[in-house]
Amino acid sequence: MKTPLSWLKEYVDIELPTEELARRMTLAGLEVEEIRYVGYPLPEGDKRREAKITGFAWDPDEIVVGAIHEVMPHPNADRLVLCRLEDGEEEHTVLTGAPNLFPYKGKGELDSPLKVAYAREGATVIDAYSESEETEYTTIQRKKIRGVDSYSMACSERELGISDEHEGIIILDEDAPTGLPLVDYMGDVVFDIAITPNFARDANIIGVAREIAAITGQELRYPDLDVAQRGDPIQGKVKIEITDPELNPRFAFGLIENVKIQPSPYKVRLRLKLSGVRAINALVDATNYAMLELGEPLHAFDYDILQARAQEAGAAAPTIITRAAKQGETLVTLDDEERQLDDFTVLVTDQSGPLALAGVMGGAASEVHEETTNVLLEGAAWNMINTRRTVMSQNLPSEAAYRFSRGVHPELAPQGVWRGLKLMHEWAGGTVSQGLVDEYPLPPEDPTVEITPGDVRRWLGIDLNVEEIVSILESLAFTCRVSERLSVNGEQSSVNGEQSSVNGHQSLTTDHYSLITVTTPKHRLDIGAGVVGKADLMEEIARVYGYDRVPETRMADALPPQRGNRELDIEEKLRDMLVNLGLQEVISHRLTSPENEARRFPAGEAPKEVYAPLVNPISPERSALRRSLLASVLNTVEGNYRIQDRVAIFEIGPVFLPHEGEELPVESPRLAMAITGPRSLPDWGTAGTREMDFYDLKGIVETALGALHLDGIRYERGGNPSFHPGKCADVFVGEEKIGSFGELHPLVRENYDLPETTLAAAVFDLSALTALVPTLFDVDSIPNQPPVLEDLAVVIDEDVPAEKVAALIRQTGGKILTDLRLFDVYRGDQVGEGKKSLAYSLVYQHPERTLTDKEVAKVRKSIVYRVERELGGKLRE
């Protein structure tokens, strides 16, 4: 909210320097985001600032109030005029093309001079003709324009950084003192304050002034609501019918007759502009001005139009009815849009139909216009939820709707009307009728909350006495009543003044304490009842006391039981392990599309899958929650392979699986990996390395699972449709399948923008895996006996899996075979067609004694025997 300091100063004395004030307001919850200097010098130097600083300074010696006494035609140019201007020191001839001076051209000496913002020779103003995005400045220099000397100017608002207005020059109010530096006359500072929803009560000058008064220890002054009511009584001229007080707790009308539509004074228009509101005419400006000041949005109806509609409907006077819209009802709003109304929209209507969207926007038919003379001024209170829903469905944000959709206290309605009438009378003349028509069927309960200094201690951790608490709350207009109570054994009883009977109870101790009964002021709706109200008051106390003055303490409270988080511990361990194995962690968007994920299956083979789709996706590519982490890592490889040919990544995160009969989808944690490209990075020392394939990934899988000490891991030929059927493994721990991996199916690869290099990928179900990870594991002693090492190569049929050979060797070797490692696989002439040679190195070791050659030879012999008998292999010599 843009807030001119000059306006605030009408209601509260401000002694703090501007930036210090901004800092204090920010700490108290009114965050000052920007400080705009209008005319005043901007702070110098590059020290730190409390907010963004903007603005343009007017040199007090060079930019002053000038008085134009005569507007004369230019001898050589129709579109220019010459002004005889006095600047408090001497007379000047000023040349200008401002169209708003043309009506005075050739009229001779003016009866009352026109006051303008005069920039002397050498003054710096904003270059109004610059096309640049950045503000550019220009210094006024003497030059000849169409044969006439020009060395100074009368400024437009754009030239002084007030607004974008450059159609004409500024014409000040008549009472502006000639020769006074313009900055002294109308310089200002505007705070742009971010108003949080609970501070909606402060979205007005009085609200901000009240906060400033509270935090700086000043008194708040209140606007003058005293209006001379010289007209007839309003009673009988209009009636109000509220059909549902929940929608419309209060509705008040005031009437002013015989107003003259004209512009409001320049200073009023300036203030509105600095507040971000367009100046229209005295009537509209008065409603806006009163709203900005008090926070009560007003609506002005042309009374004659309502009267005419009433008579047409056969009534003597208009009856204004407020009600919810009916489905299908329409209204043409003052922006000339025909609006289809929802049943939650509240309407102001008369006997003939809708007049306005309550609290949001007026209707075109009953609006004040150029010929309006009699104005019926509405101040009301509307249900904030209905207002909010209407704003959303009609897409009609406005200053009024902003306030009503956050809640406006009904007590403000008549105050706003009186203030509005007073301003209209001041700026547009006319006669104010006596009294208001005021229907108030549903006054809010202004909650009363009881608090004690003990509460302040318990919530805030500070010790304040009763006087301090009361003083803080009263500075924000709360009413406080203090009573003395008795507590028994530290328990505060709610029984007032009753003397407790001690009756020999040694342990019973009593004490007095003060209870403060706090009543909410009649301008705010954000204070709750009971313990909620207590919390609300704690915030008020802490804010005004100053968050910065609250000490920093360590929690003295008991520590909770240690629960641990096993799933996360295991995830983090896996992350570390995979990073150690050279994989980069990635985190993908979890919103994707079923079409994108279907690419992980060969075209036409994607199974039907149930997704959790979004109602309101931001784009079709992100229309549902992912079901597959494999799809996520494949997307990442696809996105990177053009940049680098080696990609090795993993991701850990949930997939979202909707289940029939479950309210929410199951969120199942997954691990996915993908590797592609050369095994090592290209460098000058290694001339080309082989591509990573199934076995590289298997090595990663084995190492990572090994690090978790999983027992009984098995690899079986797998059937994951994303992978090459011949190069795919399922991973089991005991009977439980925990994941699968393999080289990407060639038809799947074709679905992605990927090169024809081998890509190996894996997916694991982390919840299944986590459940199987042992908490502890045993460590073997280091044997102090020397090992016996030997190699053994067997030739075997191609289709006997290597794991079968290894298992047989291990089994036969028994306890003394402590290590078995495959170090070569050979196929070729030496072993013959359809055969392969598997070469193993074996380590024999006995935990307690040295093995004899004889013992080792015996084991070896039985291994060879079993390989021959059971697997049809033979020893390779």
Partner 1 sequence: MLEKIGEIKKTALDALAKIEGEEGLDQWKVTHLGRSSAIMDVFKNMGSVPKEERGNVGRTANQVKQALQAALDEKKEALHQAEIQRALQEEKIDITLPGYAIPRGRLHPTTQTLREIYRVFADMGFQIYRSREVETDEFNFQLLNFPPHHPAREMQDSFYVDSGEERGENPILLRTHTSPGQIRAMREFTAENPDNPPPVRIILPGMCYRYEQVSARSETQFTQVEGLAVGHDVTFSDLKGTLSDFARRMFGKNVDSRFRASHFPFTEPSAEMDIECFLCGGAGCSVCKHTGWLEILGCGMVHPNVLSNGGYDPERYSGFAFGMGPERITMLRYHIEDIRYFWANDMRFLEQF
| Interface with partner 1 in residues 398-427 (CB under 8 A) | 405-406
Nearer to partner 1, 276 or 546 (CB): 546
Task: Quote the least distance from Cβ 391 to partner 1, whole Å.
Answer: 10
Nearer to partner 1, 197 or 607 (CB): 197
Q: Is 782 in the site for partner 1 (CB under 8 A)?
A: no
Tell me the residue length of the chain.
Answer: 877
Q: How many CB atoms lie within 10 A of CB 491?
A: 6
Task: Quote the least distance from Cβ 737 to partner 1, whole Å.
Answer: 25
Site string for partner 1, 744-773 (x = CB under 8 A): ------------------------------
Q: Is 680 in the site for partner 1 (CB under 8 A)?
A: yes
Torsion from C-alpha of 156, 161, 163, 168, nearest 10 degrees: 10
Nearer to partner 1, 225 or 707 (CB): 707
Which residue from 260, 228, 223 is spatially nearest to 427, judged by alpha carbons?
A: 260
Task: Select from 169-177, 287-295, 381-389, 783-791 the region that touches partner 1 (CB under 8 A).
Answer: 381-389
Measure the CA–CA gap between 387 and 409, rounded to whole angstroms. Answer: 14
List 91, 572, 595, 621, residue binding partner 1 (CB under 8 A): 572
Q: Is 181 in the site for partner 1 (CB under 8 A)?
A: no
Do 794 and 831 contact (CB within 8 A), yes or no?
A: no
Q: Is 385 in the site for partner 1 (CB under 8 A)?
A: yes
Q: Is 687 in the site for partner 1 (CB under 8 A)?
A: no
Amino acid at 668: S
List 16, 148, 280, 462, residue binding partner 1 (CB under 8 A): 462
Looking from the CA of 377 toward its CB, the CA atoms found within 13 Å total 34
DSSP letter for 113, please. Answer: P
Nearer to partner 1, 29 or 161 (CB): 29
Positions in 26-45 near partner 1 (CB under 8 A): 26-29, 31
Task: Select from 238-246, 382-390, 801-809, 813-821 the region that touches partner 1 (CB under 8 A).
Answer: 382-390
Size of the site for partner 1 (CB under 8 A): 108
Residue linked to tokens 């001024």: 377
Q: Is 49 in the site for partner 1 (CB under 8 A)?
A: yes
Positions in 611-650 near partner 1 (CB under 8 A): 612-618, 622, 625, 635-636, 639-640, 643-644, 646-649
Positions in 717-746 near partner 1 (CB under 8 A): none
Measure the CA–CA gap between 220 and 209, rounded to whole angstroms. Answer: 7
Residue linked to tokens 């220009």: 138
Q: Is 579 in the site for partner 1 (CB under 8 A)?
A: yes
Nearer to partner 1, 322 or 405 (CB): 405
Measure the CA–CA gap between 462 and 544, rounded to whole angstroms. Answer: 13
274 contacts: CB under 8 Å, gap ≥ 6 = 2, 4, 36, 38, 162, 188, 190
Give CB contacts under 8 A, 24+ apart, made by 865-871. 866/808, 866/812, 867/794, 867/796, 867/805, 867/808, 867/809, 870/808, 871/794, 871/796, 871/797, 871/800, 871/804, 871/805, 871/808
Nearer to partner 1, 615 or 779 (CB): 615
Task: Quote the least distance from Cβ 541 to partner 1, whole Å.
Answer: 8
Nearer to partner 1, 499 or 562 (CB): 562
In the numeric block, which tokens belong to residue 860? 């070896």
In the numeric block, which tokens belong to residue 867? 């390989």
Do 22 and 32 contact (CB within 8 A), yes or no?
A: yes
SS3 35: strand
Residue linked to tokens 């501007």: 18
Positions in 586-615 near partner 1 (CB under 8 A): 586-591, 612-615
Q: Is 583 in the site for partner 1 (CB under 8 A)?
A: yes
Do 227 and 432 contact (CB within 8 A), yes or no?
A: yes
Nearer to partner 1, 341 or 808 (CB): 341
Positions in 496-555 near partner 1 (CB under 8 A): 531-532, 534-536, 538-539, 542-543, 547-548, 550-555
Nearer to partner 1, 656 or 715 (CB): 656
Measure the CA–CA gap between 69 and 83, rounded to whole angstroms. Answer: 7
Task: Quote the least distance from Cβ 539 to partner 1, whole Å.
Answer: 3
Looking from the CA of 814 toward its CB, the CA atoms found within 13 Å total 10
Task: Quote the least distance from Cβ 736 to partner 1, whole Å.
Answer: 23
Task: Quote the least distance from Cβ 849 to partner 1, whole Å.
Answer: 43
Site string for partner 1, 552-571 (x = CB under 8 A): xxxxxxxxxxxxxx-xx---
Alpha-helical runs (H) found in 346-465: 384-394, 399-404, 412-428, 453-460
List 130, 258, 510, 580, residue binding partner 1 (CB under 8 A): 580
DSSP letter for 679, please. Answer: S
Positions in 195-224 near partner 1 (CB under 8 A): 196-200
Nearer to partner 1, 618 or 782 (CB): 618
Nearer to partner 1, 404 or 427 (CB): 404
Q: Is 47 in the site for partner 1 (CB under 8 A)?
A: yes
Which residue from 422, 423, 420 is spatially nearest to 412, judged by alpha carbons?
A: 420
Nearer to partner 1, 376 or 652 (CB): 652
SS3 726: strand
Q: Is 461 in the site for partner 1 (CB under 8 A)?
A: yes
Q: Is 776 in the site for partner 1 (CB under 8 A)?
A: no
Measure the CA–CA gap between 340 and 334, rounded to whole angstroms. Answer: 14
Nearer to partner 1, 440 or 459 (CB): 459
Torsion from C-alpha of 721, 722, 723, 728, nearest 10 degrees: -60
Which residue from 209, 294, 296, 295 is spatially nearest to 475, judged by alpha carbons?
A: 209
Task: Select from 129-137, 157-165, 431-439, 681-689 the region that touches partner 1 (CB under 8 A).
Answer: 681-689
Nearer to partner 1, 494 or 781 (CB): 494
Amino acid at 54: T
Q: Is 581 in the site for partner 1 (CB under 8 A)?
A: yes
Task: Quote the least distance from Cβ 699 to partner 1, whole Å.
Answer: 13
